[in-house]
Structure 1
């Protein structure tokens, strides 16, 4: 797997934290963690976007972040679990995986470092 896609994955991982933080943070420490998560998330996204197609990178980032956020709300904050939500998340993930699979990557030695 290309290191740039790993950066996209980590950007989406930290997106989940900052999105949850925007809703639930109520102390200085929690807001600090939210700000740090925003920085890491966008730093990784921008870094990957320099070498990968930006449209695909953004779609994968948002799709993974959305999935992670919805699942976190269900698991951590007792958001109601509906079969419809799970089906829609599955459709979203299928679309994200499909975009990733059809995106041609240029061979660039600099991109793998």
Structure 2
């Protein structure tokens, strides 16, 4: 169950980084809505990370959490913010995904 909580925490990390991207693109009241989304996503992500680390090793949990956030943020950048998707970028993201799965497999 705590692995599921950790994955959801990682997805909320993607949420707060996506909000950062939208904050950069907007002004006025819309910017404040994205800031609110950032703060809410950040709070939920941290709370779930704290919950997950109560039973999972902190090093593994943090690495998986940041890995999910990194992969999700890069994919959000590619699909939503039209960032480049060149071969090397996708290769290194694939390596990161393999590392996250490997950490899950070797953790008790």
TM-score (norm 1): 0.86
Report the alpha carbon displacement of residue 17 of structure 1 after superposing the two structures with TM.
1.2
Q: How does 1:56-71 map to 2 (within 5 A)?
A: 56-71=60-75
- Spell out the pairing of 1:27-106 with structure 2 (5 A cutoff): 27-104=31-108
Aligned residues: 102
What is the TM-score when the length of structure 2 is the normalising length? 0.90
Separation of aligned partners in 1, 2:84 and 2:4: 31
The two structures, once aligned, show a CA RMSD in angstroms of 0.9
Shift of 1:101: 0.5
The CA deviation string for residues 8-59 of structure 1, in whole angstroms up to 9 with x for no partner, is 1001101011112223314211110110000000000000001110100001
**Structure 1 unaligned residues grouped into runs of 5+:** 105-113
Task: Answer with 21-30 or 81-90: which moved more.
Answer: 21-30
Structure 2 segments unaligned to the other structure (5+ residues): none
Give structure 1 regions of 4+ aligned residues with deviation exceeding 2 angstroms: none
